[in-house]
Structure 1
Amino acid sequence: MAESVVCFVIEKLVSLLISTEAKLSRDVRKEVGCIRDELESIRSFLKDADAKEAVEGEMDDSIKTWVRQVREAAYYIEDAIDEYLLCITRHHQDRGFLHKITWLVKKMKPQDEIASKVEAMKTLVSEIKARHERYGFNSSEQGQGRREMTVPWHDPRVASLFIEEAEVVGVESARDELINWLVEGASKHERREVISVLGMGGLGKTTLAKKVYDNQKVMAHFDCCAWITVSQSYHVEDLLRMMIRQFCKSRKEYIPEGTDQMDQESLIVKSREYLRQKRYVVVFDDVWKVDFWGAIEHALPDDNAGRIMITTRIKDVADFCKKSCFVHVHHLQPLPPNKAWELFCRKAFQFEPEGICPEELEELSLEIVRKCEGLPLAIVSVGGLLSTKDKILSGWQKLYSSLSSELESNPHLTSLTRILSFSYHHLPYYLKSCALYFGIFPSISCIRLIQLWIAEGFVKSKKGKTLEEVGEEYLTELIHRSLVQVSRVCIDGKARSCRVHDLLREVLLRKGMESSFCHMLSEHGSNFTPITRRLSIDSSPSDALVSIQQSHIRSVFTFNQEEWPESFLNTLNGNFKLLKVLDFEDVPINQLPKYVGDLYLLKYLSLRHTKVKFLPESIGNLQNLETLDLRHCLVYEIPAKINKLLKLRHFSAHYCDYSTNFSMTYERGVKIHDGIGCLQALQKLYHVEANHGGINLIKALGKLRQLRRLGLKNLKSEDGGDLCASIEKMNHLESLEVSTLSEDEVLDLQSLSTPPKFIRFLYLKGPLEQLPSWIPQLQQLVKLRIFWSRLRDSPLKALQNLPHLLELGFSYKAYDGVQLHFEGGFEKLRVLKLKDLKGLSSLIIDNGVMPDLQELQIGPSPQLKEVPSGIHHLRNLTTLRFVDMPKEFPRNMDPNDGQHYWVVEHIKYVLFSYKFGPRCGVFETHTLRDSSL
């Protein structure tokens, strides 16, 4: 983590050197450059120290002290830079016409301050470097003696190779699948193939691979075999020698003479010669590096049905092999609850009669198993620890409550902690801070997470890409490394929210607290250090805030708040002057303090789900603000000074009144009067009420060329032409949502002749009399919803060939015809919602239409009295929902009643509900049993 902090500071120093606002003097600029260079030289040792800690699990005390001092020095430098930038920003705020002379008098003060602090920085870094050289930390050889004197760490991955068959739980299906792939293969030709077992640490990849490798069917099928443990550090020559030795050993042959002296090229030639005309299988266990296959593939011939199995945590390792052979990726899943319970009982109650859980411990034991989330290593480790304890409820409860600290200190669990930590330690420095964020949040929206990373400065710019796109790449890499789990996905398969395993979160949270990355403020409390960068408040903060004075907090997060003392809001003023992130989501506050405008460095402000009604005029001072989240709060009118927020990238504001029925007015946006065209960095703007800004607002939108998402409400009929003209200028637009002021205002978008080609989500709400001719041109369209339209003709033929359309919805007067006939197309459609088709009496679905449809919702449709004809053709349909259907519509699910029995065997859920909208309630739900109703 120390390397990550130093790299972050180096990048800030570089930014300071090239900043046009900083205007450093020549001497100060030179000194800053020297500090940067010194930190660069220190960084290489920090990287080595982090790597040693990852492998050995421990760090020499003297090195640990030095690393802590480096980290604190880096934080001091970061503070000095941010305080200087804060001073500069304040001066810019005061540089009005009447303050120019005053500013000219004072303008040297920031230069004087930064000059003195730069001198202090240089002295501090020089002392740290001298200490580093004085104690010889840069000599990797001196560490060898210390390692020989320490007790070697027991790596549980070694034990995985020797687990008896009877002890293995829940791998039978995966084992049989992999054996079949090894023996039978996928190709019809005798070609080399790779089977990759992919999953997070502790999931049992090595155990599974070993059971497959040792299987008699596998051994009998191949002429020779080899098992190679690769891990994070290796030499290709050593792997090749080991592989040749094991091939020879499996055939009880002598190892070729001179193998130990051969170079890489000679070893590759020798391996190819040996494997000629032989069927071979080789397992490379625990592979971490993407380029591993490129180094090893030439030693394994491609023409004799060779099978290579790789176990890895990293998806890109498996994908890299695809460049030269067929790859089957097996995603190893956590144990299901019944198998997890079976494994836990085997371990925790192994010395009990019949290995059965005592009744008084069953509820707590089930909670412990749930905490392990199907991770075999966690279940075995925790179960093994509990097997040594007396079977007393109070003792078990105490251990469960202190599991976080036990992970670090208890010898039964330290191996589990280190296995989980490997994925973190192996991360490149720019992802380590991103990963530590998951210690703060149990689960988080991916969009919110990336915006927070950007506000923190974790995301580095890349030429030709937005910061948001780079942030998505970071998150994808963490997911592909099996460190982050996707908990929800969007309709197009993109990650919507994400999390980490509960026990891994405990590990990351502790690492974050040890490195002053974050402090968790809870009722139990813990020591708060002034250099802590982030504050996560998980309880009422009134008592603990006494200790937080003049801190260097950059971010504040809140969770589980039932009340919020005004004293904390007062604490923010002055004490948190370097704040960049202020996340008040779900906090029960009624107003935002006026002094929020003094937080000049603030980049992220969220009032989501608060009771705040007004923004102070001082909001205009936050000229570094990038994200303003007002969703589901009570703010309605936005101060005119918002037009000063030239760096604003994401502005989200809408409020839903769930006390009313679903209608044109149940959701509202905010009022913005003037100046929206100044905010040309905006990528997201929703929802704005167009009737308050009028034509000037509509035209000003054309200046927002970076918009990716736009939401407009309360449009009038005469706005259509100007809106189309503005939209045509938004070349990056991906999501568009527009709605009219009332059902009397016709939504006319026909004049949009060349729509943005990247639109993926389109929502049209209002009296649309004809389908805009440009919609069928949207080749990237994923989701289309048309509400309250007055379409007279079916739009199906116009839409059926959109290649990426996954969800389609019509509602409220969308179609007044008698019959709706799906005759063809919609090849990828997964969700279809047909709502309030008042005149519809017949729905026909031809065979072959919508082959991937999974969810179908119909109603209210008062004239539809028959089940859709051809519904049995929808072979992938799992959920069928009818909303407020007429009494005559068949509801009988009894298969013995032939009159109304219309069951389709593959449908899992049939739901009848009433009151379409926010107060919708299901009064009949029919779930299929054994694939039939």
Structure 2
Amino acid sequence: MAEIAVNIVIDELLPLLDQEARLLGGVHTEKADVSQGLNTLIQDLRETAYLIEDVIDEYLLHLGNPSQRHRFIGFLCKVGRLIKKLKRHHEIASKIHEIQKKVHKLRERSSSYGFNSSFESGSTSSNPRPDPRVASLFIEDSEIVGIESQKNKLIIWLVEGTLKRTVISVVGMGGLGKTTLAKKIYDNVRGVRHFDCHAWITVSQSFQMEELLRNMMEKFYKERKEAVPEDINKMDNESLITQVTEYLQDKRFVVLFDDVWGVDFWERITPALPENKKGSRIIITTRKDDVAACCKDDYFHRLPHLSLESSWELFCNKAFQGRCPPELEKWSDDIVKRCGGLPLAIVAIGGLLSRKEKIVSEWKKFSDSLGSELESDSHLESINTILSLSYCDLPCHLKSCFLYLAIFPEDHTIKCGILTRLWIAEGFVKANRGATLEDTAEAFLTELIHRSLVQLSEVYIDGNIKRCHIHDLVREIILKKAEELSFCSVMAGEASCFDGRFRRLSVQNSTNNILDIPSKKSHIRSVFLYNCQVFSLGTSASKFKLLKVLDLGGARLERIPEDLGSLLHLRYLSLRKTSEDASKINRIQKLRNILCFDYAYNVESRWGGSVRGVHVKEGIGGLEDLQKLTSVDVTHGVKIITELGKLRQLRKLGITKLSRGNGQRLCAFISNMVHLKYLSVCSPSEDEILDLQYISNPLPFLSTVYLMGRLEKLLDWISRLPNLVRVCLTGSKLVNDPMQLFQALPSLQALTLFQASVVEQLCFGATGFQKLEDPSQ
């Protein structure tokens, strides 16, 4: 009965997490008029949500694990565990009772602040701050660098070409100069009177359609010195659309909609913009690719970041009104590079520095503390505000994904596959009908890219995203938000203090063993180590009992805890490059990803290189949710391979040191891994045969195959892989020409062969390799 009661309470508490998340999603804590009392309430809401999460996870850990209920060894052990279990019931019930009281008080306080009406409806302050984007409309010519060719191209699109109504979209991240560029071309065509009437409309996030239509009408009438209809303020939406359409029907018009956020904007505004075959033009500026797509644009212009040369010119114009003094060049160059080609940042920072003493110590101090300067200096407030707008526009599920980028070091190129798997492990991605969690996570990342918040670094030749990065100044915004929300703590360098408020910890560039967390701070959910030379997690993992993600791949560890297997909530474990034994993980049934491979190079061997895997023990076959396992050393053969055969959900599998005698058994199990997308197999030495002839099923999703070791002949089953995109053979030493098989593969895009064949000539057919794009990949 006690467990039923706990379950009922938890079922009641779970929706509160979602309610709190939506509540916080509408709160803009950066507004100047938010009272201290309201800020305290928001913090209390957040902490209460964290408490709820802790109680749920503790319940699942201690009371919800069926394997702990029936494995009593002896009467004394049974009694001891029963007492402990009852104690846990009491402790959790007490915590739930305290949370209920907190929630009741928070509801009363929330009502007093009008949360349900004002914040949930998205209303803003009655005294909002001035919109910093307005300054872009009055920018000086000295602040415009590197856009002349773009301006000329857009002007040609405006004044030349077809007489049909044409839509031009200008897309780019906040602060890149979309409004500035649009204003210059708008003023140009307005000056030459190419159009009969003009209107510049700032849309923004909180526009009202009726107000926007009235604004547009007034600008048309006033520009032509015509009387504005007296009853315009009494018109409803339908009447306004009719009025605007009738007015524009016989005119060549140009309308510029600046800063469009909603994908439904075009559908709502287009009835008021007639297709009158007069050569009318509509310009839209936006940060979001999907907005441009919905506007059915005829011309699409993605605004690039300024080149380093143009950035330097613009910075010198603002900071020095000319040439940079030689002694300040190093620090000025550092500052310009951190601006990342963002004109808004270059102009704001250059303007601030123009008022500082031109001495090295002042410049160095500013460069070293740029992150804190962005937060504290009122002259740089526009940068913070403009970039924060994109964050505030995100739906709740994407806010968590976006803030997660705080874990990565500065200038870090992010592997997209790792990022999406981490989101899944954290629980940010929920199952959608007809789509896997991985597909949904990739869609989240694509949306962040389309919103100009994440930038592409590299794509696979099949078009999928391979690596990405974030702008340095966007990262500063993320770090600030992550700290405000107790989302993540970043400890860089020789920092030695961890604030237990935070749910995630990213340790970067450290040589100290700084992760000394008292057991009472057990709510930490994720730990990441990046470039940490010597590190120890201590002898016990019990202080991390609610951990979901443990990434130790960026550290040289002295040891890992003996009871690592007690982390029953762990979903993602990376031991890459740590040379650690992964044999303690068999109890962690929620694990979805285990990364524990390294590449070793032996200069004395013709073999050249090999993949070093880790040892696992019997029982790993019980990790039924496992999706990725790279790479496992199967030196000890049959039993481990049999265990791997139970992992039917695997998408990615890496095997090292596969002896010839175990090849047939491995093939039999791989044939049943119907979800497999990636397969890597390495033999123990250059002379050992990879005996992999026996895969019988056609594995419909397998897209990548890496084989390192000798092959007696090319594997026939490769020809039955319809979606095979990438193949790499190393040391195969085939005695026959493999090209006849490879060139017939319908989806092959990348082929790498290293010591793969001993024949003197390879024959390529004229019609083969229909999709091969980059054989070096």
Aligned to 1:656, what secondary structure does the other structure show? Answer: strand
TM-score, normalised via structure 2 length: 0.89
> Is the alpha carbon distance of 1:624 and 1:790 closer, same or farther for their aligned partners in structure 2, counting shifts above 3 Å?
closer
Distance 1:811 1:41 in 2: 56
Partner of 2:290: 316
Superposed displacement of residue 292, structure 1: 1.3
Partner of 1:329: 300
Superposed displacement of residue 483, structure 1: 0.8
Is 2:593–2:628's contact at 8 Å kept on the other side of the alignment? Answer: no
Greater RCO structure (CA 8 Å; 6+ sep):
2
> Is the alpha carbon distance of 1:562 and 1:125 closer, same or farther for their aligned partners in structure 2, counting shifts above 3 Å?
same
Aligned to 1:360, what secondary structure does the other structure show? Answer: helix
1:202 maps to amino acid = G
Superposed displacement of residue 379, structure 1: 0.5
Is 1:674–1:693's contact at 8 Å kept on the other side of the alignment? Answer: no
Q: Confirm whether residue 176 of structure 1 aligns to residue 149 of structure 2.
A: no
TM alignment of 1:796-811, pairs within 5 A: 796-800=739-743, 802-811=745-754
Cα deviation 1:320-342 (Å, max 9, x = unaligned): 223xxx44322211100000000
Aligned to 2:727, what secondary structure does the other structure show? Answer: strand
Is 1:683–1:708's contact at 8 Å kept on the other side of the alignment? Answer: yes
Is 2:334–2:367's contact at 8 Å kept on the other side of the alignment? Answer: no
Aligned to 2:283, what secondary structure does the other structure show? Answer: strand
> Is the alpha carbon distance of 1:556 and 1:669 closer, same or farther for their aligned partners in structure 2, counting shifts above 3 Å?
closer
Distance 1:36 1:734 in 2: 35
Partner of 2:434: 464
Distance 1:291 1:312 in 2: 13
Is 1:578–1:601's contact at 8 Å kept on the other side of the alignment? Answer: yes
Q: Confirm whether residue 239 of structure 1 aligns to residue 212 of structure 2.
A: yes
Aligned to 2:706, what secondary structure does the other structure show? Answer: strand
Q: Which stretch of the first structure deviates more once superposed, 283-292 or 744-753? A: 744-753
Distance 1:715 1:360 in 2: 60
Aligned to 1:608, what secondary structure does the other structure show? Answer: coil
Partner of 2:402: 435
Is 2:202–2:257's contact at 8 Å kept on the other side of the alignment? Answer: yes
1:171 maps to amino acid = I
Q: Confirm whether residue 657 of structure 1 aligns to residue 604 of structure 2.
A: no
1:735 maps to amino acid = Y
> Is the alpha carbon distance of 1:763 and 1:234 closer, same or farther for their aligned partners in structure 2, counting shifts above 3 Å?
same
> Is the alpha carbon distance of 1:734 and 1:792 closer, same or farther for their aligned partners in structure 2, counting shifts above 3 Å?
same
1:73 aligned to 33, 48, 62, which one?
48
2:484 aligned to 502, 509, 514, which one?
514
Superposed displacement of residue 423, structure 1: 1.1
Distance 1:227 1:508 in 2: 32
Is 1:35–1:125's contact at 8 Å kept on the other side of the alignment? Answer: no
Is 2:426–2:548's contact at 8 Å kept on the other side of the alignment? Answer: yes
Aligned to 2:679, what secondary structure does the other structure show? Answer: strand
**What percentage of residue pairs aligned between the two structures are identical?**
47
Is 1:516–1:529's contact at 8 Å kept on the other side of the alignment? Answer: no
> Is the alpha carbon distance of 1:562 and 1:92 closer, same or farther for their aligned partners in structure 2, counting shifts above 3 Å?
same
Distance 2:696 2:121 in 1: 70
Q: Confirm whether residue 579 of structure 1 aligns to residue 547 of structure 2.
A: yes
Is 2:136–2:180's contact at 8 Å kept on the other side of the alignment? Answer: yes
Is 1:793–1:817's contact at 8 Å kept on the other side of the alignment? Answer: no
1:710 maps to amino acid = L
1:202 aligned to 154, 157, 175, which one?
175
Q: Confirm whether residue 120 of structure 1 aligns to residue 95 of structure 2.
A: no
Partner of 2:596: 630
Is 2:494–2:510's contact at 8 Å kept on the other side of the alignment? Answer: no
Superposed displacement of residue 92, structure 1: 3.7
Is 1:673–1:692's contact at 8 Å kept on the other side of the alignment? Answer: no
Partner of 1:823: 766
Is 1:39–1:125's contact at 8 Å kept on the other side of the alignment? Answer: no
Aligned to 1:692, what secondary structure does the other structure show? Answer: coil
Partner of 1:265: 238
Partner of 1:875: none
Superposed displacement of residue 296, structure 1: 1.4
Unaligned 5+ segments in structure 1 are 1-22, 633-654, 834-854, 856-933
Aligned to 1:49, what secondary structure does the other structure show? Answer: coil
Partner of 2:704: 761
1:706 aligned to 649, 674, 678, which one?
649
TM alignment of 1:84-99, pairs within 5 A: 84-88=59-63, 92-93=67-68, 95-98=70-73
Q: Which stretch of the first structure deviates more once superposed, 443-452 or 372-381? A: 443-452
Unaligned 5+ segments in structure 2 are none
2:538 maps to amino acid = L
TM alignment of 1:122-271, pairs within 5 A: 122-136=100-114, 138=116, 140=118, 147=125, 153-185=129-161, 190-216=163-189, 220-256=193-229, 258-271=231-244
2:445 aligned to 469, 475, 497, which one?
475
> Is the alpha carbon distance of 1:57 and 1:24 closer, same or farther for their aligned partners in structure 2, counting shifts above 3 Å?
farther
Cα deviation 1:742-771 (Å, max 9, x = unaligned): 566655656556512222222344444554
Partner of 1:680: 624
Partner of 1:911: none
Is 1:519–1:534's contact at 8 Å kept on the other side of the alignment? Answer: yes
Q: Confirm whether residue 692 of structure 1 aligns to residue 636 of structure 2.
A: yes
Superposed displacement of residue 251, structure 1: 3.9
Aligned to 1:412, what secondary structure does the other structure show? Answer: helix
Is 1:783–1:805's contact at 8 Å kept on the other side of the alignment? Answer: yes
Partner of 1:284: 257
Is 2:168–2:283's contact at 8 Å kept on the other side of the alignment? Answer: yes
Q: Which stretch of the first structure deviates more once superposed, 591-600 or 392-401? A: 591-600
Partner of 1:61: 36
TM alignment of 1:334-345, pairs within 5 A: 334-345=305-316
Cα deviation 1:442-462 (Å, max 9, x = unaligned): 323222222222222222222
> Is the alpha carbon distance of 1:166 and 1:250 closer, same or farther for their aligned partners in structure 2, counting shifts above 3 Å?
farther
Distance 1:455 1:534 in 2: 13
Partner of 1:895: none
Is 1:488–1:495's contact at 8 Å kept on the other side of the alignment? Answer: yes
2:610 maps to amino acid = Y
Distance 2:610 2:494 in 1: 42
Superposed displacement of residue 806, structure 1: 2.2
Is 2:26–2:122's contact at 8 Å kept on the other side of the alignment? Answer: no
Superposed displacement of residue 492, structure 1: 2.7
Distance 2:62 2:243 in 1: 67
Distance 2:123 2:487 in 1: 33
Q: Confirm whether residue 388 of structure 1 aligns to residue 355 of structure 2.
A: yes
> Is the alpha carbon distance of 1:788 and 1:521 closer, same or farther for their aligned partners in structure 2, counting shifts above 3 Å?
closer
Distance 1:43 1:163 in 2: 39
TM-score, normalised via structure 1 length: 0.75
Partner of 2:560: 592
Q: Confirm whether residue 348 of structure 1 aligns to residue 324 of structure 2.
A: no
1:680 maps to amino acid = E
> Is the alpha carbon distance of 1:548 and 1:249 closer, same or farther for their aligned partners in structure 2, counting shifts above 3 Å?
farther
Aligned to 2:97, what secondary structure does the other structure show? Answer: helix
**Alignment size in residue pairs:** 769
1:122 maps to amino acid = Q
> Is the alpha carbon distance of 1:223 and 1:548 closer, same or farther for their aligned partners in structure 2, counting shifts above 3 Å?
farther
> Is the alpha carbon distance of 1:136 and 1:167 closer, same or farther for their aligned partners in structure 2, counting shifts above 3 Å?
closer
1:415 aligned to 367, 377, 382, which one?
382
Is 1:347–1:387's contact at 8 Å kept on the other side of the alignment? Answer: yes
Superposed displacement of residue 549, structure 1: 6.0
> Is the alpha carbon distance of 1:525 and 1:752 closer, same or farther for their aligned partners in structure 2, counting shifts above 3 Å?
closer
2:151 maps to amino acid = R
Distance 1:728 1:665 in 2: 28
Cα deviation 1:40-84 (Å, max 9, x = unaligned): 66666544433xx46x46522221111111112222222222222
Partner of 2:364: 397
Superposed displacement of residue 276, structure 1: 2.3
